[in-house]
Amino acid sequence: MTRHEPKTHRAIPNWMYPFAAIAVLFLVIPIWALLWRLPWLEIGELITAPASIDALWLSVWTCSVATLLCVIFGAPLSLWCSREDQYGPWQAKLARLTRGVLRLPMVLPPVVAGLVLLQTWGRYGLLGQYLDLFGWRIAFTSVAVVIAQTFISLPFFFASFESALRASGHKYERQARILGAPSNTIFWQITMPLVRPALASAAALAFARALGEFGATLTFAGSLQGVTRTIPLDIYLLREDDTGQALALSLVLIILAIALAVFAQFIGKSAKWQTEEHRDKRPANPESDTVKLAAQTEAVRQLAEKLADSKTGPQIRVQAQVPERKVTIDTTFPAGQTTALVGPNGSGKSTLLSVLSGTLGYDGQVDLGLKKVGILEQKPVLFPHFTNQTNIEFALRFSHPNLNRAARAERAAQALAAVGTSHLAKRYPSQLSGGEKQRVAIARLAAGAPEIVLLDEPLSALDEDAAKQARQLLKEVLAALKATTVLVTHHSQDVLELAHWMVVLKQGKVYRRGEPDALLGLLGDDPQKAKLAVVWS
Ligand SMILES: Nc1ncnc2c1ncn2[C@@H]1O[C@H](COP(=O)(O)OP(=O)(O)OP(=O)(O)O)[C@@H](O)[C@H]1O
């Protein structure tokens, strides 16, 4: 049988292959040359020579300390800079400036870096002169080696970790904040597990850079065996007198670099929730798509009984302005009812929802009291490193702090059962279909029994059948919760089935408000099929 490769394999023009091959040879041939010239028979003896052992040990411990310092100081700084879009204009500018300045040492020649450090920490340096008063001398000691390595590798750590953090965004942290998690919990249980692979590869990069550090170390710390002579300095000194030993130490450096690369790869892939293999093992799941609506409705009713603590939501009064988005809203959302918030693209619906969820700054007044808020978005934000059951238990820790671990587990299981997803409890979100994810998110919303619910086009990403089922589920859950709900939607079907009240936005202002029946009457005889746009045109 003839095999046909996917088209992407031919996406690169043929003339590019020789260039790519030259790049590979250019990098690989020198390593081959080193291996070829190595005195393999004496290698053990050369590596275990006292001077080599001293240099090796010094490099390993100084680089480890330098990497640790990069992580301890560089990680908080990277996190702070990467969240620039959450700050006000001044703090955002400062974060951008810091990012620019911190990258400078990357282009500073290492010898210049050594001189700069000498001017700072040397006996007569800016800071060194004061340390000298206490008899502390840093230059030309092992501490100087660590400082030089940290100075050189910190910008590399920062550049790698900060850009990974910016690329990954902060939607999970935002979701955790909406669920009521305190910042320490968010940091340790959401941010850290999610950024662990990026942190490991940034740390590996910092270690590798520190390991190869030469110019700054020689200028600032000198080259004293066992004190400041690291492997690169030793190789440099040996290169003419004892080429064999220099080559043997170079091999050690190469092996260490390869070990670091493998370690970073391993850490990056070791998270169970991330592995492709884990994803592929997902068994077929016909059950979830055929949940009987009647049984589901009954289950949601039973859950509603459990949610006896859910009080009727409050009336929400909004008088808010977001001048930078030209949005000025003055309206009321009736207590315990669902209000459909509709309007053309860019009319301010998401902006208003962000104001209500407390994730966007505004001028004016929005009175939510200290009510519990639940949110459901078009693409449900489930924490990828928690199983579906744990996702719900995590939310319950903050919505119901009085429940113990066992009670949380029981309630989470009930919520999953109510939406027909008990069989998905132990899976990770990455193993679910879009409709299943939305069900689990609805279960989390229901379990938290919020008094205010914000729904941002929750059914738009689902196909017709899944949307129909999820709509029915939402209807039951909202009725059980008695929450004050704001539903952003573009579909008349959602308004017809879920809403008691309707607010129409246009160009950042309230254009119309009223009973859905009255406003949807504008859509003609068959409002289900008509486009909502008629309401604001
Ligand atoms: N991150 C942002 N920064 C600056 N302006 C924004 C941002 N997001 C939206 N805007 C602007 O704010 C106004 C309201 O946008 P918003 O996203 O609230 O509208 P929307 O009604 O939710 O639109 P859609 O139906 O397309 O989601 C628009 O003029 C938009 O260009």
Question: What's the CA-to-centroid distance between 345 and ligand 1, angstroms?
Answer: 8
Bridge partners, 455 (sequence order): 376, 487
Q: Which helix (H) or strand (E) holds 78?
A: helix 75-82
Bridge partners, 316 (sequence order): 333
* Predicted local confidence at residue 221, as pLDDT: 94
Sheet holding 452-456, edge to edge: 373-377, 452-456, 484-488, 338-342, 501-506, 509-514
**Full pLDDT tens readout for the chain, 537 residues:** 667 666 655 678 889 999 999 999 999 999 999 999 898 888 888 889 898 999 999 999 999 999 999 999 999 999 999 988 777 788 889 999 999 888 887 888 999 999 999 999 999 999 999 999 998 999 999 999 999 999 999 999 999 999 989 888 888 998 898 888 999 999 999 999 888 888 998 999 999 999 999 999 999 999 999 999 999 999 999 887 888 889 999 999 889 888 888 887 777 666 666 554 444 444 444 444 444 444 555 666 666 666 555 678 888 999 999 998 999 999 999 999 999 999 998 899 999 998 988 878 889 988 776 678 888 888 889 999 999 999 999 999 998 899 999 999 998 998 898 888 888 999 999 888 888 898 899 999 988 888 899 999 988 877 888 788 888 888 888 888 888 999 999 888 888 889 999 999 999 999 988 888 777 766 566 656 566 777 777
Report d(CA 420, CA 293) in Å as an integer: 9
Question: What's the CA-to-centroid distance between 362 and ligand 1, angstroms?
Answer: 14
* Predicted local confidence at residue 460, as pLDDT: 84
Report d(CA 111, CA 134) in Å as an integer: 28
SS3 per residue for 204-267: HHHHHHHHCCCHHHHHHHCCCCCCCCCHHHHHHHHHHHCHHHHHHHHHHHHHHHHHHHHHHHHH
DSSP string, 333-377: E-TTSEEEEE-STTSSHHHHHHHHHT-S--EEEEE-TT--EEEEE
Distance of CA 350 to the CA centre of its chain: 22
ipTM of the complex: 0.95
Nearest CA to ligand 1 atom 24: 345
Report d(CA 142, CA 55) in Å as an integer: 12
| CATH H superfamily, domain 48-271 | MetI-like (1.10.3720.10)
| Ligand 1 site residues, Cβ closer than 6 angstroms | 325, 327, 343, 345-351
Question: What's the CA-to-centroid distance between 350 and ligand 1, angstroms?
Answer: 7
Pocket probe mutation, ligand 1, options 347, 352, 456, 510, max atoms within 8 Å of Cβ:
347
Phi then psi dihedrals of residue 367, to 5 deg = -105, 100
Report d(CA 351, CA 324) in Å as an integer: 11
Question: What's the CA-to-centroid distance between 353 and ligand 1, angstroms?
Answer: 11
| CATH H superfamily, domain 291-536 | P-loop containing nucleotide triphosphate hydrolases (3.40.50.300)
Query: pLDDT tens for residues 395-440?
Result: 999 988 999 999 999 989 988 988 888 889 999 998 888 888 988 9
By the 10 Å C-beta count (0-12 exposed, 13-18 middle, 19+ buried), 259 is classed as: exposed
Nearest CA to ligand 1 atom 6: 325
Query: pTM higher than 0.80 for the full model?
Result: no
DSSP string, 279-291: HHT----HHHHT-
CA proximity to 114, closest of 141, 144, 142: 144
Question: What's the CA-to-centroid distance between 410 and ligand 1, angstroms?
Answer: 40
Per-domain residue ranges of the chain = 48-271, 291-536
* Predicted local confidence at residue 384, as pLDDT: 92
Nearest CA to ligand 1 atom 3: 325
Pocket probe mutation, ligand 1, options 351, 378, 505, 510, max atoms within 8 Å of Cβ:
351
Query: pLDDT tens for residues 291-327?
Result: 444 455 566 666 666 655 567 888 899 999 999 899 9
